[in-house]
């Protein structure tokens, strides 16, 4: 069990916006009474966003939250003026949740491995027939489909809990007739890792320590645990491969 409790970023963002609103609601009238000045609604909304962005900076949120905080209040205001039917908002929220499910629940966003990575991974799977490869958090399963083309001899597995990526990957699998690709809607923490020759993940720094512990206790000797871009703190990989792609992708490899 992971005992490292940290506040989810969405909750911190909410704290920033509420603090921005309260600062303006309580502080601005005092300043106006003291210095006798007036400001328009747009300026007030931008000021609220700027205060929220400042608090976000102090609370050490990632830098990209800054512009989001800045434009959030004014966008909501003008969004409401557009008279969009009220049901659109919950539908939009559900859609966004269905795609980015694991940002909220596991702090892992959806971004995809590129083809160069899949090509390299295909060479790292042992050559014995029936070798098993798994992508933990398989997203749209493009990695599995790419590897499937290069290594039709392997069994390729993907586990994903975000509903929309899962559904899309299932449909693409049927469309491309990838018979050696098996995708399931399952939380990666409930996937036993003992049967795989290669376990691959491209997640975020957050789950890495716990996932490495799981790999160490479940994977068979000689098998490979490979993480795209995110290493395990204080555990040196046996090998690091830097790919010749645009982002110089790093594959960290631990031999069990
Ligand atoms: C960065 S994406 C990588 C997608 C794919 N592996 C690739 O390399 O193209 C990470 C994926 O892991 C999924 N994910 C995160 N935590 C998960 C969990 N606990 N169980 C299942 N899937 C998870 C996310 O929904 C997301 O689709």
Taken in order of first residue, the domains within the chain and their CATH numbers are 9-84 (no CATH), 115-255 (3.40.50.150)
- pLDDT (average), residues 164-179: 92
Q: What percent of the chain has pLDDT over 70?
A: 97
Beta strand 224-228 pairing with 198-201: parallel
Residue 110 CA, closest ligand 1 atom number: 2
Choose one of 1, 8, 108, 252 to mutate for the ligand 1 pocket test, by most ligand atoms within 8 angstroms of C-beta: 108
Task: State whether the beta carbon of 113 lies less than 6 angstroms from ligand 1.
Answer: yes
Question: How far is ligand 1, taken at its centre, from the CA of residue 252, in Å?
Answer: 17
Residue 139 CA, closest ligand 1 atom number: 27
Question: How far is ligand 1, taken at its centre, from the CA of residue 13, in Å?
Answer: 23
Strand order in the sheet with 132-136: 181-184, 155-159, 132-136, 198-201, 224-228, 250-255, 239-242
pTM: 0.75
Q: How far apart are CA 201 and CA 180, in angstroms?
A: 19
Q: How far apart are CA 244 and CA 227, in angstroms?
A: 17
Residue 131 region by backbone torsions, left for phi larger than 0, else alpha for psi between -120 and 50, else beta: beta
Residue 112 CA, closest ligand 1 atom number: 9
pLDDT in tens, 177-235: 899 999 999 999 999 999 999 999 999 898 999 999 999 999 999 999 999 999 999 99
Task: State whether the beta carbon of 227 lies less than 6 angstroms from ligand 1.
Answer: no
pLDDT given for residue 42 in this prediction: 93
Q: Which two tokens stand for residue 223?
A: 């098998």
pLDDT given for residue 2 in this prediction: 42
Q: Whose Cα sits closest to atom 20 in ligand 1?
A: 187
């Amino acid at each position: 069990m992971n005992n490292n409790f940290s506040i989810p970023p969405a909750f911190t963002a909410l704290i920033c916006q509420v603090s921005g609103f309260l600062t303006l609601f309580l502080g601005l009238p005092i300043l106006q009474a003291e210095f006798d000045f007036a400001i328009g609604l747009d300026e007030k909304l931008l000021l609220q966003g700027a205060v929220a962005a400042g608090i976000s900076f102090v609370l050490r949120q990632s830098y990209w939250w800054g512009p989001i905080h800045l434009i959030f209040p004014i966008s909501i205001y003008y969004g409401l003026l557009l008279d969009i039917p009220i049901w659109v908002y919950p539908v939009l929220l559900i859609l966004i949740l269905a795609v980015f499910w694991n940002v909220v629940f596991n702090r892992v966003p959806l971004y995809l491995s590129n083809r160069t990575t899949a090509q390299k991974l295909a060479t790292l799977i042992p050559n014995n027939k029936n070798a098993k490869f798994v992508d933990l958090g398989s997203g749209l399963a493009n990695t599995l489909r790419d590897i499937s083309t290069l290594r039709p001899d392997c069994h390729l597995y993907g586990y994903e809990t975000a509903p929309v990526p899962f559904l899309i990957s299932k449909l693409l699998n049927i469309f491309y007739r990838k018979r050696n690709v098996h995708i399931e809607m399952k939380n990666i923490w409930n996937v036993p890792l003992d049967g795989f020759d290669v376990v691959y993940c491209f997640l975020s720094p957050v789950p890495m320590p716990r996932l490495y512990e799981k790999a160490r206790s479940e994977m068979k000797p000689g098998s490979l645990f490979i993480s795209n871009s995110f290493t395990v703190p204080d555990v040196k990989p046996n090998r690091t491969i830097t790919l010749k792609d645009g982002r110089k992708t790093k594959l960290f490899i631990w031999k069990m």
